[in-house]
Amino acid sequence: MSLLASRTPSLGLGSPPSVNLLPPSEMRRRQTAARARTWLFAGVGALAVSALAVGGAFAFNMTAGIRLASEQAATQDLLVGIAELSDVSQAMALRTELSTTADDATAGDLRWAAVLETVESHLPDGVVVTDYALTAGAVPDPAIESADTVGAMGTVTVASLAPVSLLSLTRTLRDADTVEWAEVDELFRDADDPLFEYRIRFAVDQSVYVSAASDGSVAP
């Protein structure tokens, strides 16, 4: 009784009966085909993603190449412009160098006439300059006022028909604005010589330099 019951197939309530008549080989073939389609779709998807990635990289590379070419063209134009200005730069550099050389060369030039005029303007009436010898001093230092530094020194020989007070002439010269110091000596005179000659040793400040002149002109 129990054996007969165990061989009787049981049906689920509410489900229609079904019978799979496909052979096992056909079922395996269909499963294989399904897996093949799945892998094919996956491969096609991967290939499409790879193509998109390669295309994007190529487009980026093209864009970067175009931008690089544009920057190189701009750089080349700039280099050409700089090359065209090189002659101007060299000329400006040469001008600056020549100007500096000229300033250094004339830094110690004296306005000789101004020095002599200073002496002559402080001589008594009837006393004239007959000879002079002046020597320029050091080149002016921008950090030092021109009035505080000796600019030139030398001697001036003067003559007159009447004797001159050495003390008075010395004091008069020392009162001049540009004179740093002054000393007056009477020269030896022959008995039959009507002229009285005096030698003035003095020094003036650097305001008598050409570079310190307001107009920058060289006096004769």
- The answer to whether 129 touches 197, Cβ cutoff 8 Å, is no
Same domain for 205 and 118: yes
Q: Residues 184, 136: contact at Cβ < 8 Å?
A: no
Say how many domains are in the chain: 2
Average pLDDT over all residues of the chain: 75
| 57: in domain | yes
- Determine the pLDDT at residue 199: 92
DSSP state of 9: P
Tell me which of 106, 135, 168 is where a domain ends: 106
**160 shares a domain with 73:** no
Mean of the pLDDT values across residues 155-164? 90
Name the most confidently modeled range: 13-27, 63-77, 102-116. 63-77
- Do 95 and 137 sit in the same domain of this protein? no
Overall average pLDDT of the 157-182 stretch: 89
Report which of residues 45 and 20 the model is more confident about. 45
What span, in angstroms and rounded, lies between the C-alpha atoms of 118 and 127?
14
**Which position has the token pair 């165990």?**
6
Please report whether residue 11 resides in a domain: no
> What is the extent of the structural domain holding 140?
112-212
Among the ranges given (88-97, 119-128, 192-201, 207-216), the one the predictor scored with the smallest mean pLDDT:
207-216
User: Is 180 in the same domain as 118?
Assistant: yes
Same domain, residue pair 120 and 78: no
pLDDT for res 16: 63
Element (H, E) at 157: strand 150-160
Q: Is the CB of residue 148 less than 8 Å from the CB of residue 205?
A: yes
Q: How far is CA 212 from CA 7, 21, 99, 129, 144, in A?
A: 137, 125, 17, 25, 12
Tell whether 102 and 117 lie within a shared domain.
no
Please tell me whether residues 140 and 204 are part of one structural domain: yes
Q: Using pLDDT thresholds of 50, 70 and 90, give the confidence band for residue 146.
A: low
Q: How many C-beta atoms lie closer than 10 Å to residue 194's C-beta? A: 10
Q: For residue 28, what pLDDT is reported?
A: 81
46 with 119, same domain?
Answer: no
Choose one of 84, 106, 128: the last residue of a domain. Answer: 106
Q: Is the pLDDT of residue 111 over 50?
A: yes
Residue 123 has pLDDT above 80, yes or no: yes
Query: 105 pLDDT exceeds 70?
Result: no
